[in-house]
Copies of this chain bind each other. A is one copy, B any other.
Amino acid sequence: MPKSEVSSPSKRDEILDAAERMIRMGGYNGFSTRDIAAAVGIKAASVHYHFPTKAGIGAAVIERYTQRFLEELGDPTNFKGAKKAIAHYVGAFRRALARDGKVCLCGVLGAEIGGLPADVGAGTQIFFEKNLEWLKNALAASGGLSEAKALSRATLMLAALEGALILSKSLGNDVVFERISEGPLKMVLD
């Protein structure tokens, strides 16, 4: 196989998987490189072979998460009506909760952004900017809204969804997320 990878892709991905899980559970400062090592069955020194610094792990986790999230969203101009676009976007967040039982990675990181390495904080900001851009385009394209109005509603949606995940986790039930995604969010349409 043609290779440009520096290290074993598999173990590297396992490290990122474990780190993502731990950040989404307890934040960036809530775990150590030793925790990561134990989770993937190696020693801390070996983790540092794959990623020289912990901040590097964080930055890589965000980059991968952002890319996957946008991939799953697809083309924002491809929906028949704003309702379908919104349902699609809400679905991405619902799956993050249902599939992983966890909050959005960047919701966690955004909350503690003042205590993050610069790279990690910057990646978090980019995630939000790209999501607002996607939502704004989706609402403008399929909802026939002005740019300003679309942006305003995109912001409301993103904020509500991030907040709903945090509330759900804190209150210990998924009912909370459904309370906001069933009905009320449709009011964003008008």
Which A residues fall within an 8 A CB radius of B?
Answer: 25-27, 29-31, 103, 106-108, 110-116, 121, 124-125, 128-129, 151-153, 155-156, 158-164, 166-167, 169-172, 176, 179-180, 182-185, 187-188, 190
Residues on the B chain within 8 Å of A151, using CB: 179
A166 vs B27: C-alpha distance when bound (angstroms): 14
Q: Which of A27, A158, A190 has the most CB of B within 10 A?
A: A27
Partner of A156 from the list B113, B166, B185 (CB cut-off 8 Å) is B185
Task: Tell me if A107 and B29 are in contact (CB < 8 A).
Answer: no
| CB of A6 to closest CB in B, whole Å | 31
Residues on the B chain within 8 Å of A171, using CB: 125, 128-129
A152 vs B112: C-alpha distance when bound (angstroms): 28
Task: Tell me if B152 and A163 are in contact (CB < 8 A).
Answer: no
Given contacts A187-B187, A187-B188, 4 further A-B contacts (CB under 8 A): A29-B29, A107-B111, A110-B111, A128-B167
Q: Which of A108, A116, A152 has the most CB of B within 10 A?
A: A108
A153 vs B179: C-alpha distance when bound (angstroms): 8
Q: Which of A159, A179, A180, A182 has the most CB of B within 10 A?
A: A159
A167 vs B164: C-alpha distance when bound (angstroms): 13
Listed A/B pairs (9) with beta-carbon separation below 8 Å: A30-B114, A103-B111, A111-B111, A112-B112, A159-B162, A159-B163, A159-B167, A160-B160, A163-B163
Task: Tell me if B107 and A163 are in contact (CB < 8 A).
Answer: yes
Task: Tell me if B152 and A162 are in contact (CB < 8 A).
Answer: no
Task: Tell me if B125 and A170 are in contact (CB < 8 A).
Answer: yes
Task: Tell me if B164 and A180 are in contact (CB < 8 A).
Answer: no
Task: Tell me if A176 and B163 are in contact (CB < 8 A).
Answer: no
Chain B minimum-CB-distance residue to A27? B112
Task: Tell me if A125 and B172 are in contact (CB < 8 A).
Answer: yes
Partner of A152 from the list B103, B153, B183 (CB cut-off 8 Å) is B183
